[in-house]
């Protein structure tokens, strides 16, 4: 059964991802902060994460993921009409990271911009792409989630430094006659809770000064317990909303691809949605939380390993700083 959209649908033509070579294990973190492998594994499910090289930028990783997606889709970079890059660790404030990717992959015909929605960025960008294609079905859009969180982590703060990693994931969207693609997306934000997960410095509120640098204001601050609570609620609610909008039930979903923040968060969501954990595609044990990249990398991995068939229904669900959250139902 193919679910019918009333506007031009946006199908996923190909996916790709990139993870830096360097693996940082929990044992390595034990030497840096007062933590241990057992604590990290039991509280988060993370065993190791990838860390970009010092000279490796977010756009380097994004471009590598984009090249893999182009190859997977079997198209040339010149066919891309738009690049949307979701990131909170841009190469620099401006130009935007998507412009750097454009130059690196030779997508000379693309319009380029970034989306800032922390860990929810990839689904926000995917939905923007879907809406563009709905009114301009001739467009081919490259959507990327890429983050180098290692560049904004306080490596002396055990509350946060054990959680994050670096990477990039990409998807190419195009209208395909008879295809369904992204069926619906449920999105939400709550700016009142901005201060449970944020980087206070480095922007116009607290521009970089030598004092700010010594206070590490441009690194991640997080209230872990509150973030945990909000993440569970937002991801359960948005999943249910997206299923309702698509007119389907969770039993019809063949794979759930969640934001890869914490295994316990995902287990709680599975419980509340009354669905087996086997349905979730997980890689946080190997990559940790890579912010906007996480769900994009997991989508690429799932697409390559789970043998999706045409018509399969997939649920993607994310949560991040802002607060921001989203859930999308996709038909393969
Ligand atoms: N190693 C050892 N002990 C630690 C560590 C660590 N790495 N980090 C914290 N602790 C200590 C705390 O200091 C605290 O000690 P205390 O009781 O002496 O004060 C104790 O462990 C318990 O701390 P809690 O915060 O209560 O631990 P909790 O069980 O809640 O787990 C965690 C902490 C893993 C951060 C959890 O709250 C969580 O996962 N929250 C969500 C985090 C998240 O997903 N963030 C990102 C989501 S959005 C996005 O991706 C941007």
Q: Residue 79's CB: how many other CB atoms inside 10 A?
A: 16
pLDDT at position 1 = 61
pLDDT at position 211 = 85
Res. 7: pLDDT tops 80: no
pLDDT, tens digit, 9 for 90 and up, residues 303-325 = 999 989 999 999 999 999 999 99
Question: Could you tell me if 190 and 168 lie in one domain?
Answer: no
Q: Residue 168: left if φ>0, alpha if ψ -120 to 50, beta else—which one?
A: beta
Mean pLDDT of the chain: 96
pLDDT band at 212 (very low <50, low <70, confident <90, very high): confident
Domains contained in the chain, number: 2
User: Choosing from 96, 259, 281, 283, which is the catalytic residue?
Assistant: 259
Bridge-based pairing of strands 82-86 and 48-51 is unpaired
- Of 156, 227, 290, 296, the residue with max ligand 1 atoms within 8 A of its CB, to mutate for a pocket test, comes to 227
2 lies in some domain: no
Interval 287-297 mean pLDDT: 98
Interval 176-196 mean pLDDT: 93
5 lies in some domain: no
Question: Could you tell me if 133 and 20 lie in one domain?
Answer: yes
Q: From 180, 215, 240, give the residue that closes a domain.
A: 180
Question: Could you tell me if 102 and 212 lie in one domain?
Answer: no
Q: From 123, 146, 180, give the residue that closes a domain.
A: 180
180 vs 331 pLDDT, higher one:
331
75 vs 214 pLDDT, higher one:
75
Res. 245: pLDDT tops 90: yes
pLDDT at position 187 = 98
Question: Could you tell me if 32 and 146 lie in one domain?
Answer: yes
Q: Which residues pair with 24 in a beta bridge?
A: 49
Q: How far apart are the first and last CA of the chain?
A: 11
Q: From 145, 180, 215, give the residue that closes a domain.
A: 180
Question: Could you tell me if 162 and 197 lie in one domain?
Answer: no
Q: Is the CB of 59 under 6 A from ligand 1?
A: no
- Tokens at 267, concatenated: 């287990």
The Cα–Cα gap between 320 and 11 comes to 25
Interval 182-211 mean pLDDT: 95
pLDDT, tens digit, 9 for 90 and up, residues 92-124 = 999 999 999 999 999 999 999 999 999 999 999
pTM of the model: 0.95
- What 3-state DSSP class applies to 90? coil
Res. 214: pLDDT tops 90: no
48 lies in some domain: yes
pLDDT at position 3 = 59
The minimum-distance atom of ligand 1 relative to the CA of 259 is 50
The residue nearest atom 26 of ligand 1, judged by CA position, is: 225
Residue ranges making up the domain that contains 231: 183-331
Transcribe 176-227 into DSSP letters. Answer: -TT--EEEEEEEEE-GGGGGGEE--SSSSSS---HHHHHTTTTS-EE-HHHH
Q: Is the CB of 80 under 6 A from ligand 1?
A: no
3 lies in some domain: no
> Which residues have C-beta within 8 Å of that of residue 151, sequence separation ≥ 6?
52, 89
Question: Could you tell me if 114 and 188 lie in one domain?
Answer: no
CATH code at position 282: 3.40.47.10
Q: Counting beta carbons within 10 angstroms of the beta carbon of residue 239, is it exposed (0 to 12), middle (13 to 18) or buried (19 or more)?
A: buried
pLDDT band at 5 (very low <50, low <70, confident <90, very high): low
Question: Could you tell me if 295 and 283 lie in one domain?
Answer: yes
């Amino acid at each position: 059964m193919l679910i019918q959209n009333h506007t031009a649908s946006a199908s996923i033509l190909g996916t790709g991802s990139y993870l830096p070579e360097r693996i940082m294990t929990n044992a390595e973190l034990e030497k840096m902060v007062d933590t241990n492998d057992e604590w990290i594994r039991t509280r988060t499910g993370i065993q190791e994460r990838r860390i970009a090289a010092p000279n490796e930028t977010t756009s380097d990783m994004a471009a590598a993921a984009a090249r893999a997606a182009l190859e997977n889709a079997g198209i040339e970079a010149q066919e891309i009409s738009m690049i949307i890059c979701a990131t909170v660790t841009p190469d620099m404030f401006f130009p935007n990271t998507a412009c750097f990717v454009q130059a690196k992959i030779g997508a000379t015909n693309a319009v380029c911009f970034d989306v800032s929605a922390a860990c929810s960025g990839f689904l926000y960008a995917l939905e923007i792409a879907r809406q563009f294609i709905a009114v301009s079905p001739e467009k081919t859009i490259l959507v990327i989630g890429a983050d180098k969180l290692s560049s904004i982590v306080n490596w002396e703060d055990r509350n946060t430094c054990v959680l994050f990693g670096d990477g990039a994931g990409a998807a190419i969207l195009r209208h395909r006659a008879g295809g369904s693609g992204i069926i619906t997306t449920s999105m939400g934000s709550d700016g009142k809770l901005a201060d449970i997960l944020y980087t206070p410095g480095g922007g116009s509120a607290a521009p970089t000064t030598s004092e700010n640098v010594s206070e590490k204001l441009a690194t991640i601050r997080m209230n872990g317990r509150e973030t945990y609570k909000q993440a569970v609620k937002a991801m359960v609610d948005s999943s249910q909303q997206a299923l309702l909008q698509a007119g389907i039930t969770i039993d019809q979903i063949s794979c759930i691809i969640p934001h890869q923040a914490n295994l316990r968060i995902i287990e709680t969501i599975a419980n509340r949605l009354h669905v087996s954990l086997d349905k979730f595609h997980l890689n946080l044990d190997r990559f940790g939380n890579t912010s906007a990249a996480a769900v994009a990398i997991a989508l690429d991995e799932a697409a390559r390993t789970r043998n999706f068939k045409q018509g399969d229904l997939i649920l993607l669900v994310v949560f991040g700083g802002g607060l921001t959250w989203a859930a999308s139902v996709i038909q393969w």
